[in-house]
A and B are shown apart, each in its own frame.
Chain A
Amino acid sequence: MDALDGNAIGGLLQEVFGADMTAAVGTCAFCGRVGPVAETVVYLRAPGTVVRCRTCGNVLMVLVEVRSRKCVDLSGLAALQAS
């Protein structure tokens, strides 16, 4: 399956963060790339949603829904700044 990009999870992220995050700027905790969430690499069909850095492939975010609860792992991000 093709990887998508951060635009594809705009609705999901807005649900989680309460604001648009596609234009938010994230910093990869591994390589330091700084860029909009819209430009990340997104895989939707894993057990959850996996968001990777476009430069180094590091996992930036994992979002999983378990019994209607959304679990969010942001440990691959050094920073995430909403516009």
Chain B
Amino acid sequence: MEGTAVRGRLTWQVATVSQLVDETATVRTIDLQVPDWAGHQAGQHLDIRLTGDDGYRAERSYSIASAPGEPLAITVERLEDGEVSPYLTEDLRQGDQFELRGPIGLYFTWDRARDTGPLLLVAGGSGVVPLRAILRYRERTGSTTPARLLYSARTLPDVIYHDELDRYNHDHGVDVIYTLTRQQPPGWTGRTGRVNAAMLADIAWPASQNPLTFVCGPTSFVEAVADALVGLGYPAGRVKTERFGATGAPGGP
């Protein structure tokens, strides 16, 4: 059912910040009120446009963090050299307004009615954001589709949505597997190091189960994961990818 998303012209709309939640030291979730929001699908993104006092404009894309039917939210990672993300993660206050347009993209979306087969979700860093929207949607709709999330983060404190993901892991029929690439806490028994073919061979559903995969993260991460999955016999058409730029936003710099 793709008809629920906006088809046709995109228009810039004014969004009002209704709540701010710090997820990690550098990542913040921003709940937004948009009066004419047409609804979205799990996995879509939106474009944000900020206009300075001097008229200078900057546009960025951010994945939607909330499930269809929930209030609109985005989750933003602060990038040290960023032009937009420091403002969104540090200066923005409740009640502030900015322009956005969306929802955007019907490719990187999961629809429980249309898409069959177990879900494999593979996230690098803040690439977890659209995958979290998929997991929330799966939960909200009572889907019994088996799902596995493999989430690569630098350290445990860098894991976004940690409590929520752990809850899925214990109660909701989702396997959540973290791999910590830079530093592990004392006594860590989980996985370490970058996602590679051997790790995927261990975690991924057998290709014979016709899994549907969503991979989101930095470009090099996505390419390595997608190549490894094809090597495991996953048809390229069942591996959906979304690459973040060095600037961290799917819409890039």
Q: Mark A residues whose CB is within 8 Å of B.
A: 1-11, 14-15, 18-20, 22-23, 36-39, 42, 44-45, 83
> Taking the nearest CB of chain B, how far is it from the CB of A22, in angstroms?
4
- Contact string against A for B residues 203-223, beta-carbon threshold 8 Å, 1 for contact and 0 otherwise: 000000000000000111000
- Inside 8 A of A36's CB, which chain B residues have their CB? 107
- Residue of B45, B47, B242, B244 with most chain A CB atoms under a 10 A cut-off: B242
> Taking the nearest CB of chain B, how far is it from the CB of A4, in angstroms?
5
Q: Are B220 and A2 in contact (CB under 8 A)?
A: yes
Q: Bound complex: CA of A1 vs CA of B220, how far in Å?
A: 12
- Inside 8 A of A45's CB, which chain B residues have their CB? 253
Interface SS, A side: mixed
A38 with B7, Cβ < 8 A, contacts A7-B250, A8-B243, A11-B101 known: no
Residue of B nearest to A5 (CB): B243
- Inside 8 A of B124's CB, which chain A residues have their CB? none
A8 with B101, Cβ < 8 A, contacts A2-B246, A23-B106, A38-B107 known: no
Q: Are A2 and B106 in contact (CB under 8 A)?
A: no
Q: Are A1 and B9 in contact (CB under 8 A)?
A: no
- Contact string against A for B residues 1-33, beta-carbon threshold 8 Å, 1 for contact and 0 otherwise: 010010111100000000000000000000000
- Contact string against A for B residues 236-252, beta-carbon threshold 8 Å, 1 for contact and 0 otherwise: 00001111111000111
Give the interface residue-count category, chain B: 20 to 34
> Taking the nearest CB of chain B, how far is it from the CB of A83, in angstroms?
7
Q: Are B107 and A22 in contact (CB under 8 A)?
A: yes
Q: Bound complex: CA of A37 vs CA of B106, how far in Å?
A: 11
- Inside 8 A of B152's CB, which chain A residues have their CB? none
- Residue of B101, B220, B244, B245 with most chain A CB atoms under a 10 A cut-off: B245
Q: Are B252 and A20 in contact (CB under 8 A)?
A: no
Residue of A nearest to B5 (CB): A20
Residue of A nearest to B2 (CB): A83
- 25 contacts across the A-B interface (CB closer than 8 A): A1-B245, A2-B218, A2-B220, A2-B246, A2-B252, A3-B243, A4-B219, A4-B243, A5-B219, A5-B242, A5-B243, A7-B243, A9-B251, A10-B105, A11-B102, A11-B104, A18-B9, A19-B7, A20-B105, A22-B104, A23-B2, A36-B107, A38-B108, A44-B252, A45-B253
